[in-house]
Copies of this chain bind each other. A is one copy, B any other.
Amino acid sequence: MRIEGKLAEMGLALPPPVKAPSGLKLPFSFVRVHGGIAYVSGHGPQNADGSVAGPFGKVGADISVDQGYELAKAVALSMLGSLQRELGDLDRVSAWLRLFGMVNCAPDFSRQPAVINGCSDLILELYGAKAGAHARSAVGMASLPFNMAVEIEATVAVH
């Protein structure tokens, strides 16, 4: 529970399970563990009650890069919440392997890396340069579910 302790020291709380908008079925697992690897579904930012968090819209048009950075940090907390519920202890994540960072953005936006850094920076701060190191893509999507501004998928090693 070393990671959970760090989060508490930083004043950061993990959100509860995703509360889907009414009428929408989400028939998948937020975390799927197999052979020492956890496949983490695309997560968006969450409010404290579990609902999907705004601001909504496109980075570069409706939302600034700084707001996008904060949203990507919130996505990291959302993924950590799912991992905590699945694994019971965030220290069981032995290595972050891959982040696939998706930014809902206008066709002329090109600063996706500065947005997804919000997630990478928090993971590196919590897990350190060795376990926290990860391959990454940070790219521009035509649109995202619920008009979320940022969604991130991940692959991590667990023991």
Q: Find out whether the CB atom of B135 lies under 8 angstroms from the CB atom of A40.
A: yes
Binding site for B on A (CB under 8 A): 24-32, 34-37, 39-42, 58, 95-100, 102, 104-114, 117, 120-121, 124, 133-147, 151, 153, 155, 157
Q: Find out whether the CB atom of B133 lies under 8 angstroms from the CB atom of A140.
A: no
Most buried by B among A25, A36, A40, A137: A137
Known: A32-B135, A135-B29, A153-B137. A142 touches B107 (CB 8 A): yes
Closest B residue to A60 by CB, please name it.
Answer: B143
Q: Find out whether the CB atom of B157 lies under 8 angstroms from the CB atom of A35.
A: yes
Measured in the bound complex, the distance between the Cα atoms of B117 and A151 in whole Å is: 18
A108: B residues at CB distance < 8 A: 143, 147
Shortest Cβ distance from residue A110 to the other chain B in the assembled complex, whole angstroms: 5
Closest B residue to A108 by CB, please name it.
Answer: B143
A124: B residues at CB distance < 8 A: 27
Q: Which residue of B26, B34, B35, B141 is within 8 Å of A141 (Cβ)?
A: B141
Closest B residue to A26 by CB, please name it.
Answer: B113
Q: Find out whether the CB atom of A98 lies under 8 angstroms from the CB atom of B137.
A: no
